[in-house]
Amino acid sequence: MKFLIVGLGNIGAEYVGTRHNIGFDIADELVEGLEGSFEHGRLAYHAEVSHKGKKLHVIKPTTYMNLSGKAVNYWMKELKIAPENVLVLVDDLALPLGKLRMKLKGSSAGHNGLKSIEEVCGGQDYARLRFGIGDDFPKGRQAEFVLGQFDKNEKKELPVLVNRAVSMIKSFATIGAAQTMTLFNK
């Protein structure tokens, strides 16, 4: 059985370590932990790794956040992966920092990466792992906040939180979304 794990983010040095790129950071940690590496592929960096007999195709779209759907659609078709075996890793302003929530489907909640996937792939029937980045920003400064770096205290917490996200991805691939949500969505 194979899965498509999609880390959302933006390419380019100016985006490394930003809140909006937490999907890329989680994807990097997953692939590195399973002793894989990314290669430049069509519309995305792609890695193929295995976990407990499951093939995980991990992508980091090179289309920038707002066009992520193009990459997801291409790789789903190229690898013949059904929507129920897709997991999107995404930052979420509506959750406090470090709160992780897996959902089987749902709206984009205003997230441009999810909106693009919804539009291009034709629906909301794919799992997503939402990584809370908090909402501690002045009114009208949302873009600045999500494209900003985590502060010093937040950075201290990130390794543990990213490892928990990786555990959730592995769980998704081995026992499924429903049981993973029961175990981790607390």
Average pLDDT of span 57-67: 96
Total number of domains constituting the chain: 1
Q: Kind of pairing, strands 127-132 and 100-103? A: antiparallel
Active site residue 40: no
Q: What tokens were used for 52? A: 């407990």
Confidence (pTM): 0.95
| Listed residue (39, 111, 87) closest to 47, CA to CA | 39
DSSP conformation class of 122:
T
Please report the pLDDT score of residue 3 as a whole number. Answer: 98
Q: Tens of pLDDT along 1-13?
A: 899 999 999 999 9
Write the CA distances from 51 to 40, 131, 145, 171, 180, integer angstroms: 22, 22, 35, 10, 15
Q: Please indicate whether residue 140 or residue 51 has the higher confidence score (pLDDT).
A: 51
Q: Which of 20, 46, 57, 111 is catalytic?
A: 20
Q: What is the CATH number of the domain that holds 26?
A: 3.40.50.1470
Band of pLDDT at residue 46, cut at 50, 70 and 90: very high
Determine the Cα–Cα distance for residues 97 and 137; give it in Å rounded to an integer. 13
Whether 54 and 173 have beta carbons less than 8 Å apart is answered as: yes
| Mean pLDDT score, 13-34 | 97
Q: Quick check: 138 pLDDT over 90?
A: no
| Model confidence at 186: pLDDT above 80 | no
What is the per-residue pLDDT for 135? 87
**Cα(63)–Cα(71) distance, integer angstroms:** 7
| Segments forming the whole domain that contains residue 131 | 2-184
Strand 44-51 to 39-41 pairing = antiparallel
pLDDT at 141: 86
Percent of the chain at pLDDT > 70 equals 100
